[in-house]
Amino acid sequence: MAVSGFEGFEKRLELQFTGDDPKTLRNGFRNLNFQSLEEILDAVQCTVVSAVGNRFFDSYVLSESSLFVYPTKIIIKTCGTTQLLKSVPLFLSHAHQMGLTVIGCRYTRGSFIFPKSQLFPHTSFREEIIYLENNLPANLCFKKASIMPPPSKKTKKSSSSHSWHVYTASDGIDYDNMMTIHEDDIDDDEVVTVEVCMTELDKALARKFFRRPGDDNCGEVVGNEMTEITGIRNINPKSIICDFGFDPCGYSMNGIDGENYSTIHVTPEDGFSYASFEGIGLQSPWSRKKYNDSRTDIGNTLRKVVQVFRPSTMSVSITSTSNKVTKSSQDLLWRYVSDSVESLGLNCTTSSFDKFPGFGSVVFQTFTGKSRK
């Protein structure tokens, strides 16, 4: 492992809002002018390099990962030594000016490869929690912080090199755009978010994310070529992809498909290689039976992602807004994810589960394969 290098593991922030004025809710944060957006990103220490949108939301590829802007929801994830949480007071200030009220906050990240390189307020999970609680309003009174899998009581350390840090805060009210309670076994409004973190990528596959010597094409052209030659295009062929290839290496893409998105970020350097995949709107095993669409099936998607990168170590976090996740459905999801990637040489090493007020449940698993020389 390199002593120092680029931090691939992202920090991810999700803020959800509501308001009283239907006209405001129709466009909400999509009305935020680009100059204001740049000021927020400047505080985080990143910039916009490419963008695409549709009638549902706007998608931005950043110099360090991605930003998704819905009328009443913001999702931003950044890598490196960015100071992601510094965006919180700025987003909340703009929300107040628009007549929007924050009703939920969800922050997640993996275990940094280079934790000592992180800047305030990201030097520890505790510091991140304190910063969030100092900047979030009092109405978000239902809070929870968790590390998955839980650290050992004796050593205070996790049993896995991939740990999942989750902090949520909500006002405890079930809004139409958050969680809706139903009488049946499947929540019609269930939203499933899959977050995958991969390290020690196959070296031959990682080399595809380096620019060719003498290639002076723009980032969009290079990114499009990487999307095609790596097989990323095939993960969801229906999606509209906005991609970017960095110099001398690295790759980011956002894919939009109706109300849903997927995003991939790659740091291919040997010694600290890393790739991530995130998809929202994928189908859990129970909803798969109802909708029967293999294109957005979690297992099918995970297999495609693993084949693009062939990581030696991987973690999978699946967040479901459903309030119906039981012990049996939790076990079903564990087995389903494990079965989906086991044939590709990855074995499940840890599994954990937790519930978060206003944000449903999280199933988290880690996988390891054969070490590569």
**Which positions make up the binding site for substrate?**
6, 64, 246, 269
| Segment holding 334, helix H or strand E | helix 327-342
Contact 347, 340 (CB under 8 A): no
Q: Is the peptide bond before 149 cis (omega within 30 degrees of 0)?
A: yes
Catalytic residue among 50, 252, 315, 320: 252
DSSP assignment, residue 185? S
Active site includes 162?
Answer: no
| Catalytic residue from among 50, 59, 79, 105 | 79
Q: Any catalytic annotation for residue 79?
A: yes
State the catalytic residue, choosing from 94, 162, 165, 265: 265
Give the whole-angstrom CA distance, residue 164 versus residue 317.
8
- Residue 62's beta-bridge partner residues? 48, 65
Please state the φ and ψ torsions of residue 52, each to the nearest 5 degrees.
Answer: -155, 150
| Catalytic pick among 50, 65, 160, 284 | 65
Annotated catalytic residue 252: yes
Output the CA torsion sign for 277, 1, 11, 50.
negative
Report the residue count for the chain: 373
CB atoms within 10 A of CB 324: 16
Residue 65 annotated in active site: yes
Residues that constitute the known binding site: 6, 64, 246, 269
Contacts of 336 (CB under 8 A, 6+ apart): 285, 298, 299
275: Cβ–Cβ under 8 A, 6 or more apart, which residues? 8, 198, 201, 264, 265, 266, 267, 268, 308, 309, 311
| Three-state DSSP state, 331 | helix
Q: Give catalytic residue positions.
A: 65, 79, 252, 265
